[in-house]
Amino acid sequence: MQHRLETPEDCKRTDGDCPEPERQPELDAEHAPVPQLPGFAAQLIGQRMRAMYDSIAQEPVPEDLLELVRKLESKEQSK
């Protein structure tokens, strides 16, 4: 999670250090609200992601990657 920090107007980087911005404590993971999508939205996103990844999974593995894996495996076996 990113927090936007405002820079004080009197903080100029000409002759000294900028004062540290006040730090906000992180939200406790147990008590943080979990956003929920409506059922139809989650279902639609899931269907589209599966369709996209199914087509990617059918693509052949690039020869460069296969060669790299072979080299790494041969180094592991020679140890």
Model pLDDT for residues 10-53, shown as the tens digit of each residue: 444 555 555 666 665 555 556 778 778 788 888 899 999 999 99
| Inside any domain, residue 5 | no
Structural domain boundaries, residue 60: 39-77
Rounded Cα distance between 63 and 75, Å, is 19
| Segment 68-73 mean pLDDT | 95
- Is 14 domain-assigned? no
Number of domains in the chain: 1
Structural domain includes residue 4: no
Q: Give the alpha-carbon dihedral of 44, 46, 52, 53, to 10 degrees.
A: -170
pLDDT at residue 51, as a whole number: 92
Please report whether residue 25 resides in a domain.
Answer: no
Is 34 domain-assigned?
no
